[in-house]
Structure 1
Amino acid sequence: MAAPMHAGGDSVDSFSSPMNCIVLRLGPGQEIVTSLKQLVNQNNIQAAFIITCVGSVTNVKLRMADSVSIVDFTGHYEIVSLVGTLSCTGFHLHGSFSDASGKVIGGHVVSDLKVYTTAEIVIGECTKLKFDRTYDEQSGYKELSISSK
């Protein structure tokens, strides 16, 4: 059973768990967020995170740092970074994408990450933990809640 661990100084809960690796390769036209949701739901994954993702996309829909604006980008983009937490109860993904001139865009991934050539994704599953999303009055969003299975 994974037990909370405490960091030095102020008490901060953290959790430890063994990890299972899942590798996913998506091809042209597949949508990354939809594919991740399908994988998580079909395998009843309770607590996971993206270790790495490389590839390219033709569409990107991001919520920007103002937490309000949602912007659609169309074109050819290299996936520079895709990170986040995944579970059956919700996702939180951020990404960075570079265009043909090397200009980078990034933000909170909403959807529409349509694969151009490939997306190679390595996912770490925390086998003894459960991630939930619970409303946080301070942020106004559903935030990560961690518990032991």
Structure 2
Amino acid sequence: MAAGPSTLTVHALRLQPGQELLSSLLSFVEERKLRAPFIITCVGSITKATLRLANATAENTNEVVHLQERFEIVSLVGTLNRDAHLHICLADKEGKTIGGHVMGDLEVFTTAEVVIGEANDLEFGRVMDDRTGFPELVINSRSKQA
């Protein structure tokens, strides 16, 4: 499923030490009423995270890790609509990486500098997909939503 093309608006924010990354991003999106937001880039560090690993399914959702140490954010990607779908890659003090689906509990250590894009002509939503067992992205043209 695809839609587009679309014009782009760019938003930037910096999160402070102790802020929770996912809830802060969702609040930012809600306050600005963004309808098709996505992560362009993010750099920073965190002190803890809860991630769902790649082996998880709708029936086997216990493939979750709770991390509690200092990590650099080396990648953050995904869509930020109401049911955000974000994946993160983190590097520890030795440069070893771990990544997965963001469940939350991402506490900022020093900073999180985030650039968010919004596709102005689109709207993102999520609908349960019986094939995957998860709510999956639905992309609509805003002209159809008017």
TM-score by length of 1: 0.89
The Cα offsets for residues 15-60 of structure 1, whole Å up to 9 and x where unpaired, read as 2110000001011001110101101111111101100000000011
**Structure 2: runs of 5 or more not aligned:** none
Question: 35, 46, 49: which is aligned to 1:60?
Answer: 49
Letter of the 1:143 counterpart: E
Write the distance in 2 (CA, Å) between the matches of 1:148 and 1:128.
6
1:80 equivalent in alignment to 2:74? yes
CA contact (8 A) 2:3 2:122 kept: no
2:40 matched residue in structure 1: 51
Write the distance in 1 (CA, Å) between the matches of 2:113 and 2:5.
26
Write the distance in 2 (CA, Å) between the matches of 1:64 and 1:122.
25
Write the distance in 2 (CA, Å) between the matches of 1:133 and 1:53.
23
Secondary structure at the aligned position of 1:15 is classed as: coil
1:20 equivalent in alignment to 2:9? yes
Letter of the 1:141 counterpart: F
- With CA pairs under 8 Å and 6+ residues apart, which has the higher RCO, 1 or 2? 2
1:90 matched residue in structure 2: 83
Indicate the RMSD between aligned Cα atoms, in angstroms. 0.9
Any runs of at least 4 consecutive aligned residues in structure 1 with deviations exceeding 3 A, and if so which? none
Secondary structure at the aligned position of 1:41 is classed as: helix
Following superposition, the deviation at residue 137 of structure 1 comes to 1.0
Letter of the 2:12 counterpart: V
The Cα offsets for residues 113-134 of structure 1, whole Å up to 9 and x where unpaired, read as 1000000000000111100000
Query: What is the percentage of aligned positions where both structures have the same residue?
Result: 47
Secondary structure at the aligned position of 2:80 is classed as: strand
Secondary structure at the aligned position of 2:3 is classed as: strand
1:4 matched residue in structure 2: none
**Structure 1: runs of 5 or more not aligned:** 1-11
Secondary structure at the aligned position of 1:38 is classed as: helix
TM-score by length of 2: 0.91
Write the distance in 1 (CA, Å) between the matches of 2:121 and 2:3.
13
The Cα offsets for residues 75-132 of structure 1, whole Å up to 9 and x where unpaired, read as 0000010000012x32000000000011101000000110000000000001111000
Question: 114, 122, 133: which is aligned to 1:140?
Answer: 133
2:121 matched residue in structure 1: 128
Following superposition, the deviation at residue 66 of structure 1 comes to 1.1
